[in-house]
Amino acid sequence: MCNLYSMTSNPQAIREIAKVLEDRTGNLQPLPEIYPNTMAPIVRNSENGRELVMARWGMPTPSGYLKGHKVDRGVTNIRNPTSTWWKRWEDMQHRCLVPLTAFSEPERLPDGKSRPVWFARSDGEPLAFFAGIWCRWTSVRKLADGETTDDLFGFLTTEAN
């Protein structure tokens, strides 16, 4: 699954389609290239209804995969949500929608390099959503920042078919 997507639709469209009651994103600008560990908008449930917030792309990495690493770059695509690691975030409180206008997959070129191939809705609609989960987590995401507490999210995906 992709590690690059874009969200260039306007915030009003997100609020209307996802029935957002509170927008906490501030002045949400178009995001033509969203990479892992980047802040991006998500729609999540709160006590007062659905809210639109900014969160960092990449859920916490299972601890077994972090041995010998000083930084947790996060898991962007959760392919096995039945794993015990992800069970703690399977409830309604941790579900989210991730708005997007397109996502890319790498195309391998004959010279060994790759380039992004972009996919978007073919029905003319500019906005789509990935299903996702989110959590608040304390870790070292960037060595220069040290330990921080962030709202994190990841896409719910499946094995490649």
Measure the CA–CA gap between 42 and 4, rounded to whole angstroms: 16
Quick check: 1 pLDDT over 60?
no
Q: Put residue 50 in one of left, alpha, beta given phi > 0 → left and psi -120 to 50 → alpha.
A: beta
What are the residue boundaries of the structural domains of the chain, listed by start? 4-156
Measure the CA–CA gap between 144 and 70, rounded to whole angstroms: 11
Residue range 102-108: average pLDDT? 92
At residue 159, the pLDDT reads 72
pLDDT band at 161 (very low <50, low <70, confident <90, very high): low
Residue range 86-108: average pLDDT? 94
- Which stretches of 1-128 are DSSP H helices? 11-17, 84-87
Measure the CA–CA gap between 121 and 52, rounded to whole angstroms: 22
The CATH number corresponding to 4-156 among 3.40.190.290, 3.90.1680.20, 3.40.50.1220, 3.20.20.150 equals 3.90.1680.20
Specify the residue for token string 């392919």: 79
Half-sphere exposure in the Cβ direction for 155 (13 Å, CA)? 20
At residue 160, the pLDDT reads 66
